[in-house]
Amino acid sequence: TPSSNQIDGKKIAEELRARVGSAVKSLPQHPTLAVVLVGDDPASQVYVRSKIKFTQECGMRSVERRLPENASQDEVVATVRALNEDTEIDGILVQLPLPKGLDSDAVIEEIDPSKDVDGLTETSAGRLLLGKTGLRPCTPTGCVILAKAALGDLTGKNCVVLGRSILVGKPAALLFLEQNCTVTIAHSRTKDLAAICREADILVPAVGRAEMVQSDWIKEGACVIDVGINRVPNPAKPGKTKLVGDVDFPSAEKVAGAITPVPGGVGPMTIACLLRNTVLAACHRRGWETPD
Ligand code: NDP
């Protein structure tokens, strides 16, 4: 049973999916999400399967475009362009990473920004930076929702984002700024990381280093949103592995006021936010009123 300071990402994601589901019911037509999967990376296949499953559970239509591992750049681009032109398609997601040899930036840039449900095109990133409405990246949006679930209004909170990737760190920092937080972005060249983290009311590690953040990096009572997903050997089951975050959860849990577990924290929120983006994209493109 989760302790009282655990933020239950699974439950919050379930509630968000339920809200998306009822929003879908109120629309004149079912939105459609297209997923492009190139090659046979096992983790990508698992992600795509669950994205399709949850899309359908929410009452939306799901379309899958599979290309072989040796697909050419032109073939992938042609697939995206066809989906751009298909008026039945509301959202396009290209599952990353693409096989070696393909230029994923160039593929992403082909996506019609009005269908960019991952929020990764230059247009979406630019609109986020400029504070204009648009489709926001899913994992960082999930982080904000979880922090708000724990703290309510985030105005004036010190937020430290650990990591500055295009996918997570940078957009997360901008989204917390949008919530009126005072945001610090830390990274591999940051001096005295621990001291900076200890200033955080909201700490968002997005680094990809197993259990790097120790309990003495965390201010008493702080809210910790752990984005990291790291596979490590499982000491309890020799020969097996387990997933851990960027935070040493057992010790951090004793200091933090609220903390997300891994798995069951940020992970489930990513897909829920993707589904919400699909509804938002459909409403915007088709001129439907956006449901709450
Ligand atoms: P990247 O590898 O692209 O970025 C990692 C960032 O961490 C970089 O900015 C890097 O700094 C910084 N960093 C690396 N080492 C250190 C260090 N020792 N001290 C301080 N900063 C460091 O990873 P992503 O942003 O794509 O992903 C981060 C983690 O989040 C991964 O574990 C990934 O699996 C997970 N993830 C989880 C998702 C979810 O749905 N829950 C979705 C996406 C990612 P620098 O820029 O200086 O190199």
pLDDT in tens, 209-221: 999 999 999 999 9
Q: Do residues 37 and 76 both lie within one domain?
A: yes
Q: Do residues 64 and 179 both lie within one domain?
A: no
Q: Please identify, among 94, 112, 130, the residue that sits at the C-terminal boundary of a domain.
A: 112
Q: Which residues pair with 205 in a beta bridge?
A: 162
Active site residue 74: no
- Whether 125 is covered by a domain: the verdict is no
Q: Read off the tokens for 162.
A: 């650990």
Q: Do residues 158 and 101 both lie within one domain?
A: no
Q: Read off the tokens for 138.
A: 């899913």
Residue 210: Cβ within 10 Å count? 17
Q: Rounded to the nearest 5 degrees, what angle is found at the Cα of 213, between the Cα atoms of 207 and 219?
A: 125
Ligand 1 centre to CA of 34 (Å) is 27
Q: Could you tell me the pTM of the whole model?
A: 0.97
**How far apart are the two ends of the chain, measured CA to CA in Å?**
32
> In the predicted model, what is the mean pLDDT of residues 41-65?
97
Confirm or reject: Cβ of 188 under 6 Å from ligand 1: yes
Using DSSP, state whether 230 is helix, strand or coil: strand
Question: Distance between CA atoms of 160 and 169, rounded to whole angstroms?
Answer: 10
- Whether 51 is covered by a domain: the verdict is yes
Residue 229 labelled as part of a binding site: yes
- Whether 156 is covered by a domain: the verdict is yes
pLDDT number for residue 4: 84
- Whether 282 is covered by a domain: the verdict is no
Residue 65 is part of which domain span? 29-112
CB 81 within 8 A of CB 273: no
- Whether 186 is covered by a domain: the verdict is yes
> In the predicted model, what is the mean pLDDT of residues 36-63?
97
Ligand 1 centre to CA of 160 (Å) is 14
Q: Do residues 67 and 144 both lie within one domain?
A: no
Q: Do residues 205 and 90 both lie within one domain?
A: no
Q: Do residues 72 and 33 both lie within one domain?
A: yes
Q: Do residues 254 and 169 both lie within one domain?
A: yes
Question: Distance between CA atoms of 149 and 223, rounded to whole angstroms?
Answer: 11
Residue whose Cα lies nearest atom 22 of ligand 1: it is: 188
Ligand 1 centre to CA of 173 (Å) is 13
ipTM over the 0.95 cut-off: yes
Which one of the listed residues 6, 51, 90, 115 is annotated catalytic?
51
Number of domains in the chain: 2
Helical ranges in the chain per DSSP H: 9-25, 42-57, 73-85, 104-110, 122-130, 138-151, 169-178, 193-198, 249-255, 266-286
pLDDT number for residue 1: 54
